[in-house]
Amino acid sequence: MGGIGELRGVETHLIPRAMMALQGHVPDFAVFGDDYATPDGTAIRDYIHVTDLAAAHVLALKLLLQGHSGGAFNLGTGNGFSVREILGAIQAETGREVPHVVKPRRAGDPTHLVADPSAARATLNFQPAHSDLATIIRTAWAWHKKAHPLKTGEPVHGEASLSPVA
Q: What is the pLDDT of residues 64-116, one digit of tens each?
A: 999 999 999 999 999 999 999 999 999 999 999 999 999 999 999 999 999 99
Is the sign of the CA dihedral 41, 7, 52, 133 positive or negative? Answer: negative
Residue 12 has pLDDT above 70, yes or no: yes
Are the C-beta atoms of 108 and 91 separated by less than 8 Å?
no
Residue ranges covered by each domain of the chain: 14-147
The architecture (CATH level 2) of 14-147 comes to: Alpha-Beta Complex (3.90)
What pTM value is reported for the model?
A: 0.87
Give the pLDDT of residue 2: 63
| Three-class SS of 140-152 | HHHHHHHHCCCCC
Report yes or no: 32 and 84 within 8 Å, Cβ to Cβ: no
pLDDT of residue 6: 73
Among 110-119, 137-146, 154-163, the minimum mean pLDDT is found in 154-163
Strand-strand pairing, 44-45 and 81-82: antiparallel
The DSSP result for 108-133, as a single string, is T--SEE---THHHHHHH----SS-SH
Is the confidence at residue 43, as pLDDT, over 80? yes
Average pLDDT for the chain: 90
Residue 52 has pLDDT above 90, yes or no: yes
Collapsed DSSP state (helix, strand, coil) of residue 59: helix
Confidence of residue 5 (pLDDT cuts 50, 70, 90): confident
**pLDDT at residue 161, rounded to an integer:** 35
| pLDDT exceeds cutoff 90 at 23 | yes
pLDDT for res 114:
98
SS3 assignment, position 93:
helix
